[in-house]
Structure 1
Amino acid sequence: MRTGRRTLLALLTAGAVLGALVSCSGAPAADRDETVTAEPVIYPLSLRYPGIDVVADVPYGSADLQRLDVCLPPDSAPDTTATPTPSPSRSPSTAADPARADPRPSSGRPAVMMIHGGSWSHGDKATAAYRAVCQYLASEGFVTVNVDYRLAPTDPWPAGYDDVRRALDWVFRPATLETYDIDPDRVGLFGGSAGGNLAALLAVQDHESAAWAAGDRVRAVVDLSGPTDLTARSTEPDGVSASFQRKQLLYLGCRTYADCPAAEQASPGSHVTADTPPFFVGHSTDEFIPLWESQEFVATLRAHDVPVTFVAVEGTAHSIAQLDRAMSERVVAFLRARLG
């Protein structure tokens, strides 16, 4: 029965892709699918960024990797009279931060929090590719927060997830909003590969945070090649390679998939609700994270009436390697439509 369900989902998705091809110009519709061919170049790496300041290694916690960079749009500068400070991680059981009672800006710039990839075990916000994407988004008008987080196997699940949630809480702190001129009602997420998994997980669980009642919520998500099903399903013949299965287990802190509650906890597809924000999902047709993971995730989002833009990229480009000029512009168009 499971095989039949997967086949049906694949056919439905394929039909949607063939039947709903649209131009990439203008604002994205609530739901749409595209199949595109990408150029073999990361467009943000090909540009120069005069006027884009990067505030590097801002602490959002006390651990070495709990640091972030802020890429600022042109003609903006941080307000040094307000100092952002590390903040506790959001969780459903955490009481609302008293600082949230402070007046918050009613206007400001849209912001995007970026999460790098690397199989949850390596990667760095300051690598050339992720720094360039941070600067590119800033050049398009978004205050962009580029996050590092603790890595497996030294720090397995849920350390990395706890870190990115703590970083998101830092973004919403009144001092941060004031310092970087961020509109708290226009905050989105961007992640590639493992970072796409973490961004998606933050979004689908955002309604569980204590900050939700205070109005601090994610408004849009860009997920490029994010693994969305880390359960034993991903080990089937059409799943990920044996080497990536081992990386997943190290991240999850499990010896086997048969006895690993963390696998479902860390799978975004298991937590989607009607409160989940709109998604842009990009995934290549022949990359090492199987296309069905994003196809089934998109189907789950749509089953909960969550608006989704799904772009299947022909070829093997993984994560931010999909960001040629056209794909970069699609991402920006989606973020502008959703964050203003």
Structure 2
Amino acid sequence: MHLRPPAGPRRALRAAAAVAVLAVTLGACSSGGEPTERLDAQSAAGTLEEGLTYWSGDGVDLALDACLPEAAEEPTRAVVIVHGGGFTDGDRASGGSRALCEATAALGQAAFSIDYRLAPEFVYPAQVDDLANAVRWLREPAQVQRFGIDPARIGVLGSSAGAIIAQSLATRGQGPLGTGERVAAVVSLSGVSVMSPEGFTLGDPSPAAAQLVLRYLGCRSATDCPQSVPASPISSVDASDPPMLLVNGTGELVPAEQAEAMDAALTGAGVDSELLVIDAPDHGAALLTTDVRQRALTFLEDHL
């Protein structure tokens, strides 16, 4: 059994409350507008440790919240949650991230919702580096023992801007998926995979979304942005990449063609990829209706 010594603000999580909040925050209705089925409340309470610093640099202290299930006899898998907000807004508790973190713990998995540096003050690859630093921090022996996690079973769930960051880390580098900054599985909700000039004409992209991507890249235009190719997750796909579940809505900010292109690239490289296009204009975390949420949790469970 792994003991978790107190450090930083800490409070009990109640599974019933966490699941209820998740159902309300992340889409209490299906795409057809009917109420969705709520997950069954689990009896036990876990713990929430807030504001744990995982990296300091550039005059910034970055923190995460740890949502932990009850102590288990075996180390548990870990899910890192990366919020959206167009790279310019949001934090580890916003956009449904806190509810998702708590509900994940209520279902028996450790979850860690992270902050990262925001644009325009910080641009690519700062945000990807931040996620990498969070993963490396979680793999340190002190954190492995403290949180009761298996360092070889770390996955990422990213929404919107967070999905781009998650895809980018997943396709960066090579080697075993259970060491360093590598991750073993990714769930991407409305991620942009192609940011090169042709990506801005893929499908019917929202001008607002395009401007946020350019701000993340530190560019004035799509045609004058040399970093757009290396920053595109699709450009570095190879056979060593982790399995991905790519979720996208139809008619939302991010064209479904982005997810379709990434799915084709992963499949072509021999990577296990699942594509889920929802017939709804929902974006990011709003896609997590009950069925989609269960699909995401099952995917992470199967691959971690």
- The alignment's TM-score, normalised by the length of structure 2, stands at 0.82
The CA deviation at 1:241 is: 2.3
Letter in 2 for 1:251: Y
Q: Counterpart in 1 of 2:5?
A: none
Q: Which of 1 and 2 has higher RCO (CA within 8 Å, sep 6+)?
A: 1
Bigger-Rg structure (1/2): 1
**Mapped partners of 1:154, 1:216: distance in 2:** 24
Identity %: 32
The CA deviation at 1:221 is: 0.7
**Mapped partners of 2:93, 2:281: distance in 1:** 24
Q: Counterpart in 2 of 1:25?
A: none
Letter in 1 for 2:93: A
- Could you give the per-residue CA deviations for residues 138-190 of structure 1, whole angstroms, max 9, x where no partner exists? 11211101110000011122221211111111111111111101111211111
Q: Is residue 2:298 matched to residue 1:302?
A: no
**Mapped partners of 1:310, 1:191: distance in 2:** 15
Q: Counterpart in 2 of 1:274?
A: 239
Q: How many positions carry a matched residue from both structures?
A: 272
Range with greater deviation from structure 2 (39-48 or 170-179)? 39-48
- Could you give the per-residue CA deviations for residues 303-339 of structure 1, whole angstroms, max 9, x where no partner exists? 0011112111111111111111111111111111111
Alignment map for 1:284-303 (pairs within 5 Å):
284-303=249-268
**Mapped partners of 1:60, 1:213: distance in 2:** 19
Distance change in 2, residues 1:215/1:42 (3 Å): farther
Q: Counterpart in 2 of 1:55?
A: 49
Question: Which SS does the other structure have where 2:123 is aligned?
Answer: coil
**Mapped partners of 1:197, 1:269: distance in 2:** 10
Report the structure, 1 or 2, having the larger strand content: 2
Distance change in 2, residues 1:213/1:295 (3 Å): closer
- The alignment's TM-score, normalised by the length of structure 1, stands at 0.73
8 Å contact 2:80–2:156 — kept in the other structure?
A: yes
- Structure 2, unmatched stretches of 5+, are 1-29
Letter in 1 for 2:210: Q
Q: Counterpart in 1 of 2:71?
A: 76
Which consecutive segments of 4 or more residues in structure 1 shift more than 3 A?
A: 37-50, 211-217
RMSD value, Cα: 2.7
The CA deviation at 1:48 is: 9.3
The CA deviation at 1:44 is: 8.1
- Could you give the per-residue CA deviations for residues 253-284 of structure 1, whole angstroms, max 9, x where no partner exists? 11222221221122111110000111111111
Letter in 2 for 1:68: L
**Mapped partners of 1:56, 1:124: distance in 2:** 12
Range with greater deviation from structure 2 (237-246 or 42-51)? 42-51
- Structure 1, unmatched stretches of 5+, are 1-36, 78-105
Q: Is residue 2:88 matched to residue 1:121?
A: yes
Distance change in 2, residues 1:199/1:216 (3 Å): closer
**Mapped partners of 2:254, 2:153: distance in 1:** 30
Range with greater deviation from structure 2 (54-63 or 193-202)? 54-63
Distance change in 2, residues 1:65/1:317 (3 Å): farther
Match of 2:197 among 232, 239, 262: 232
